Structure 1
């Protein structure tokens, strides 16, 4: 099954719009600063189509905003509704858009990771004793096999003599 191609512009635009709507009523300015800073990196990734670093930084920023959004919702979600009916409606809309943005972020991270791989990015993780790497320099290509200088002699006998008897 092939992964559908999602445009980076669409990801940035959708999350930007949901963040703007999420900031309408109840979230603090730190929520806006974190998310809009990551969107600025996303614009950089859009502008430089060949930059691996821009996409990687956007991906890391999206993962960080998942954590910070959860913290913001946990701390700042009000226990009581707003007094006026219009205030409650704005709060519900704002909270719904912020939560929808949070729910879409893991899928967006997956698509941004695919873009990172398409641009030539490769992951190398080293935690000291655990190493995850995709270093393929140690592998020999099947297309360019080296020819042996002498013919292979599996029975280890001279070419002119009779074949030796193998013992099993």
Structure 2
């Protein structure tokens, strides 16, 4: 008995991305998990548009379940770009650097004033003679 108007591929695709999203949130230090979640969200936007355009129930004699299913699928599709924006912000917070700019105003992290702690200052081969007082002759 088929209750839903959308095919199983719609459900499998969205549940797979949901699973990757749970993994990305659980692995707080993983950049790979969050970029896979972002790419998955972008792909499901495309596949949701295709699924809704092909399998959207037509006709005036739709059941309440079919109307609800189509409404929730459309609502999910409308929220996915906002989800992509927040996932992209999480990607940037985790240290991900991507070359494209979406045009949104962001807070830049100017790191030019910071000194790296990986490299120590090279010691001077000769002591600074100008800072010491000259020895007094007797």
Q: How high is the TM-score relative to the length of structure 1?
A: 0.57
How far apart are the structure 1 equivalents of 2:49 and 2:114? 50
Superposition deviation, residue 88 in structure 1: 1.8
Does residue 95 (structure 1) correspond to residue 70 (structure 2)? The answer is yes
Shift in Å, 1:49: 0.6
Aligned in 2, Cα 1:143/1:90: closer, same or farther, shift over 3 Å?
closer
Moved over 2 A (4+): 141-144
Tell me by how many angstroms 1:142 deviates.
Answer: 5.5
- 2:57–2:66 CA contact under 8 A, matched in 1: no
Among candidates 19, 29, 34, match of residue 55 of structure 1 = 34
Structure 1: which 5+ residue stretches go unaligned? 1-23, 126-140, 145-168
SS in 2 for 1:110: helix
Structure 2 distance, partners of 1:90, 1:45, is: 32
SS in 2 for 1:122: coil
Whose RCO is larger (CA < 8 A, sep 6+)?
2
2:43 corresponds in structure 1 to 64
- For 1:78 and 1:92, how far apart are their aligned partners in 2? 8
Q: Give the counterpart of 2:95 among 94, 98, 120.
A: 120
Tell me how far apart the structure 2 counterparts of residues 118 and 89 of structure 1 sit (CA, whole Å): 43
Partner of 1:130: none
Correspondence 1:74 to 2:53: yes
Return the alpha-carbon distance in structure 2 between the equivalents of residues 143 and 49 of structure 1.
Answer: 25
Task: Give the TM-score of the pair, scaled to structure 2.
Answer: 0.68
Question: How many residues were matched structurally?
Answer: 104
Q: 1:106 aligns with which of 73, 76, 81?
A: 81
Structure 2: 5+ residue runs without aligned partners?
101-111, 116-138
Give the one of 16, 32, 37 matched to 1:37.
16
Task: Provide the secondary structure at the position in 1 that maps to 2:95.
Answer: coil
